[in-house]
Amino acid sequence: MTHLSTSCESRSRLAGLKRMRPALPLLIILVFVWAQLAAIPCEAPTVDEQAHLTRGLVWLRTGDLRLYIGHPPLINALAALPLLPDARIRLPFEEPAWQARDWIEFPISIFWKSRNPALTMFAAGRIMIVLLGALLLAVVCRLGTDVGGPWLGLAAMGLAALDPNLRAHARLVTTDVGAALTLTLTVWLWRRWRLHPRPALTVAVGLALGLAIASKYTAALFVLPLVLAVLFAWRLNPRTLTRTAGALATAGLTTWALYGFELRPMFGLPFPVPLATYWEEFVWTSATLRFPSYLLGSVSRQGSFAYFPVALLAKTPLPLLGLAVAGLAVWLRRGWRSEVVLWLPPLAFLAVAVMARVNIGYRHLLPILPLLYLAGAWALGRLWSRASAGRWAAGGLLAWLALNTLLIYPRDLTFFNEAVGGPDNGWRVLVDSNLDWGQDLDELAAFVREREIGSIYVSYFGSVPIGSFPVAEYPIPARPLPPRPAPGWQQLFPAPGWYAISVTHLMGVASLTDPDTFAFFRHRRPEAVLGRTIYVYRVPAETGAVAVCANPPPSLGEADVRRIFGSALTRLILFDCSRGLPLPRGLAWYLLRGEQAALIRPALKRLGAQLVYDEPHRSDPAYAYSLYRLEDAAGRAARYAAARPAAATFGGLATLLGHRYTRVLAPGRPAQVETVWRIEAALPEPVSFFLHLAAPDGFPLVVSDGLNTPFDVLQPGDGLIQFHPLGEYPAERPPGAQFRTGLYALGGAQARYRLPSGEDFVSFPLP
């Protein structure tokens, strides 16, 4: 009876779910739209949005497409539709930027110089993109229903709605979601056309493909795989060729119609060409829009084959990724022939994206995501069909994905999965539109207001021209940093004050000419991290000595050093870093270049010096600067030595604090000993610190003398580490041989300075 009762209850629940099923897609779309609309005010205008809105609005009002931004105009126009009847919006065509076709400065004039309602304009455009995102969910649901029934369609739709990457871009004014929508619509209709090749569907697939091609240039990558899919299904014959040609002709006419059936010469050709603007912008995009990319801490101007695979693995939620991979593997193994139209275009798209190495962001992979949702939904269905254990697994994966969604919302753009440490570690893997697209400017404005900061240096990766001129919507007392013109900026040693730097610029990409522009800050702990994208620092005013390695060359000249460090510099010390380093009293900075750093880096690390600037991306490492900071440099001298003798002061001028071996003293191998000193009084004449490997009778077997710093630069209280390279350590040494060290005057008879005991050296045994 109990079993019968349980069975009846299960059937009752299933019947209830079936009755609710028709309403569930609408419910998912409504919740999705509500969440997207609620998140719009939480994000400032991102990098590309104002260019897209400007292009669309100008085209709708004038039909002029002179502002090339690297994409066809269809989605731009759809986003700008709500702005068309707004009489408040003025387009400043008198601006030089319009005549110059400047797609960066002219949008700045529209949104931030012309007193237009900028934030209202962005909100209106974003609402249109939200609606396109909702349509994408509906098409995914319909495609899934055709493939595997209503429950598979509903599951695919649910996975899409829970994906933070799709949600992030389904409320920003770009072409990414629009292209994903039109391509998914094309695949859905193409699949139906493959099964039922009716004339009406021939026209429908052509219209959909034409809309996709007019949405984004990369949509053309779907054309050949789609054609191959139907040729594979129908076989090659005249009827197949006629159908395919009809669909492609309809697509071409659709795109041409959106360009007003434009027909004119281009590239100096003597005859008119259809879609001339489309082709000219495509060539311009291919030739100019290539930016440096960042991947796993490295900056590249050539791009990387690993970029998109890493992006997929790092940013796709793990439960979705696991379901999609499992579902796709089984699906392709069992039915790859019957569903070739579903998997071939997105996988071909991914392959071309990887090989092209145009590494801008995960958003360029949005057209392949519907395949992941379908495969993931199929895997969920398989799990659900395996009784209680499978249902628990399916429920757990869905709960995990939902938890990802709840924890990241509304900062969906910053999502990274647990495999790379989550959103807080995303900057270690990717930046740009994968993490930081300028969306957290409101948080910077609030931070400045709460801290009552009167002036702050800003390098902002976004479309709002912070630092160039006052922007009423974002009252930030900003002073510009690169990539905007920044007179007086010193990247090696920035001036004291507050700094706010977008993490994309911090990592050295976007429009920066030097990837190490903000290397100084990469070695500092920020005062605050705003929204995971804007790092705020406070550089205190400090003064100290600057020690510059002058040998081996090259090194900065004295005038350049004084210009860079300004009032922070109290002493300038030039030294030979092949023979050691000075340890001035108080705070000291060590400025090194190229191979110089390798000579004294071990000593600086042992002293506890902090690396505060380096140039890992310098094309020629011989010219790469590094800067170390060392507090109480002279006070650390005594602790540096491994062996410390009793106090031994020579001539009242210098005290030996100890010695250490930096290379193993092995016969036939290069050897080096370091002696550590403290200067007790101003040196009255040039001197040399000696180290001799001496026989018992004092005869020098190996000699290493020198002074790494000019004698008249050293001051009482300074420390000194002197390197004594010994060449090849002798294989044969007489019994009782030992090291002797001291100092002597270089002039005249080169008299040695003596200890109070009368000795002119201190000896210590061989190790």
The predicted pLDDT at position 325 comes to 93
pLDDT the model gives residue 271: 87
Structure-model confidence comparison of residues 531 and 729, the more confident one: 531
Closest CA to 189 of 212, 158, 162, 169: 212
Q: Which pLDDT does position 4 carry in this prediction?
A: 39
**Token pair belonging to 568:** 């922070």
What's the mean per-residue pLDDT of the chain? 90
Per-residue pLDDT, 311:
96
Confidence band, pLDDT 50/70/90 cuts, at residue 2:
very low
Whether the per-residue pLDDT at 80 is higher than 80: the answer is yes
Residue 20 in this model has a pLDDT that exceeds 70: no
Kindly report, residue by residue over 605-645, the tens digit of the pLDDT.
999 999 999 998 888 888 889 999 999 999 998 888 877 77
pLDDT band at 19 (very low <50, low <70, confident <90, very high): low
**Angstrom distances, CA of residue 199 to CA of 243, 245, 547:** 8, 12, 81
Per-residue pLDDT tens digits for 205-243? 999 999 999 999 999 999 999 999 888 888 778 888 888
CB atoms under 10 Å from CB of 385, counted, come to 10
DSSP 8-state assignment for residue 474: S
User: What pLDDT, on the 0 to 100 scale, is given for residue 13?
Assistant: 54
Q: What pLDDT is stored for residue 428 in this prediction? A: 95
Residue 9 pLDDT > 80: no
CA R_g for the chain: 35
Specify the amino acid at residue 531. G
Question: What DSSP line would sit under 204-272, residue for residue?
Answer: HHHHHHHHHHTT-GGGGGGHHHHHHHHHHHH-SSHHHHHHHHHHHHHHHHHHHHHTTT-EE--TT-SS-
pLDDT at residue 382, as a whole number? 86
pLDDT digits (tens, 9 = 90+) for 659-695: 888 766 777 677 889 999 999 999 999 999 999 988 8
| Residue 524 pLDDT grade (very low, low, confident, very high; cuts 50, 70, 90) | very high
Res. 16: pLDDT tops 60: no
Strand-pair partners of 294: 299
Question: What is the pLDDT at residue 587?
Answer: 96
DSSP of 384-445, one letter per residue? HTSHHHHHHHHHHHHHHHHHHHHHHTT-GGG---GGGTSGGGGGGT--GGGT-SSTTHHHHH
Q: What is the pLDDT of residue 5?
A: 45
* pLDDT the model gives residue 506: 95
Structure tokens at 759: 């000795």
Q: Are 563 and 598 in contact (CB under 8 A)?
A: no
Query: Once rounded to an integer, what is the mean pLDDT over residues 577-601?
Result: 91
Per the listing, tokens 């101007």 go with 301
Asked if pLDDT for residue 511 goes beyond 70, the answer is yes
Query: What is the distance between the terminal CA atoms of the chain, rounded to a whole angstrom?
Result: 89
Of 74, 46, 291, the C-alpha closest to 65 is 74
Please state the rounded mean pLDDT for residues 438-462: 94
Identify whether the C-beta of residue 66 lies closer than 8 Å to the C-beta of residue 168. no
* Residue ranges of domains in the chain: 440-539, 544-636, 641-765
Pairwise CA distance, residues 159 & 398, whole Å: 8
The residue-averaged pLDDT of 716-725 equals 94
Q: Cα(66)–Cα(57) distance, rounded to whole angstroms?
A: 12
For range 375-390, the mean pLDDT: 85
pLDDT above 70 (res 762): yes
pLDDT at position 444: 95
Alpha-carbon distance of 310 to 112, in angstroms, equals 37
- With the C-alpha atoms ordered 109, 110, 111, 112, is the resulting torsion angle positive or negative? positive
Average pLDDT of the residues in 479-498? 90
pLDDT at residue number 12: 56
Tell me the C-alpha distance between 311 and 498, whole Å.
Answer: 33
pLDDT mean over 567-587: 94
Q: Which residue has the higher pLDDT, 225 or 336?
A: 225
Indicate if the pLDDT at residue 8 is higher than 80. no
Structure confidence at residue 701 (pLDDT): 84
The CATH number of 641-765, from 1.10.287.110, 2.70.50.60, 2.130.10.10, 3.30.2290.10, is 2.70.50.60
Coil, helix or strand at residue 283: helix
More confident residue, 360 or 211: 211
Q: For the beta carbon of residue 63, count every other beta carbon within 10 angstroms.
A: 9
* Share above pLDDT 90 across residues of the chain, in percent, rounded to a whole number: 66
Contact status, residue 724 vs residue 672, Cβ threshold 8 Å:
yes
Q: What is the spatial distance between Cα 493 and Cα 748, in angstroms, rounded to a whole number?
A: 44
Q: Is pLDDT at 416 greater than 50 in this prediction?
A: yes
CA distance 58 to 358: 28
Neighbouring-strand partners of residue 719: 583, 678
Is the pLDDT score of 46 beyond 60?
yes
Tokens read off for 327: 């579902």
Q: Work out the pLDDT band at 598, boundaries 50, 70, 90.
A: confident
Query: Residue 566 — pLDDT band, cuts 50, 70, 90?
Result: very high
As a whole number of angstroms, the distance between CA 491 and CA 471 comes to 26
Spell out a b/e string for 598-637, using b for 16 or more CB atoms within 10 Å of the CB, else e: ebbbebbebbebebbbbbebbeeeeebbbbbbbeebbebb
pLDDT at 536 over 50: yes
User: Residue 304's closest CA among 230, 356, 342, 267?
Assistant: 356
